[in-house]
C-alpha cells in the first residue's frame, strides 16, 4: 500500500512563500511520476504541477508558472512544491499524487493520493 503524506500548508499573506512536502512510503518512489493538484473552495480539483520519475520532465499549470516549482528528492522519497509570490486565488487544499506511468496533467490517471494540506492566502 503506497501512502502519501503532505505537509507544509498554513495561513499566509499575499506575497509570502510556502514549501509543501509529500513523503511517500513506497520504496519504489523513484519510479513514480509525481503530481500536485489543488482544490479551491467550491471548485473541482485541478492540476498544478507534475514531475517525471527522473525529474527530466516537469509541467506547471499556467496560473502558477513562474511562481511555483515542483522538485523531488529520490533519496528521501519526497516531492516538493515551492510556492512563491502567493496570491489569494492560490487558496486551496493541495494534494500530491503518484502514478507509475509517464508524466501527465490528467488527475484521473494518478493511482495514489494523499489526504491534502490546506493553504490559505489572505489579502
N-term to C-term CA, the chain: 40
Confidence of residue 20 (pLDDT cuts 50, 70, 90): very high
Per-residue pLDDT tens digits for 63-87:
999 999 999 999 999 999 999 999 9
pLDDT band at 118 (very low <50, low <70, confident <90, very high): very high
Is 90 exceeded by the pLDDT of residue 28?
Answer: no
Residue 1 binned pLDDT confidence (cut-offs 50, 70, 90): confident
**pLDDT beyond 90 at 45:** yes
In the prediction, which pLDDT does 21 show? 98
| Model pLDDT, residue 26 | 74
Q: Are 83 and 73 within 8 A, CB to CB?
A: no
| Cα(19)–Cα(13) distance, integer angstroms | 14
* Partners of 92 in the β-ladder: 119
Q: Kindly report the average pLDDT of the chain as a whole number.
A: 96
Of 49, 71, 72, nearest to 61 by C-alpha is: 49
DSSP 61-113: -GGGTTTEEEEEETTTTEEEEEE-S--GGG-EEEEEEEESSS--S-GGG--EE
Sort residue 42 into left (φ over 0), alpha (ψ -120 to 50) or beta.
Answer: left
In this predicted structure, the answer to whether residue 27 has a pLDDT above a threshold of 80 is: no
37 grid coordinates: 493538484
Amino acid at each position: 500500500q503506497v501512502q502519501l503524506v503532505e505537509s507544509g500548508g498554513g495561513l499566509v499573506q499575499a506575497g509570502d512563500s510556502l514549501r509543501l512536502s509529500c513523503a511517500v512510503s513506497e520504496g519504489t518512489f523513484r519510479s513514480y511520476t509525481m503530481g500536485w493538484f489543488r482544490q479551491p473552495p467550491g471548485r473541482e480539483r485541478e492540476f498544478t504541477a507534475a514531475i517525471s520519475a527522473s525529474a527530466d520532465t516537469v509541467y506547471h499549470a499556467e496560473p502558477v508558472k513562474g511562481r511555483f516549482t515542483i522538485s523531488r528528492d529520490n533519496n528521501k522519497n519526497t516531492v516538493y512544491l515551492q510556492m512563491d509570490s502567493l496570491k489569494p486565488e492560490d487558496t486551496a487544499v493541495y494534494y500530491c499524487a503518484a502514478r507509475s506511468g509517464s508524466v501527465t496533467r490528467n488527475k484521473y490517471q494518478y493511482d495514489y493520493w494523499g489526504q491534502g494540506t490546506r493553504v490559505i492566502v489572505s489579502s
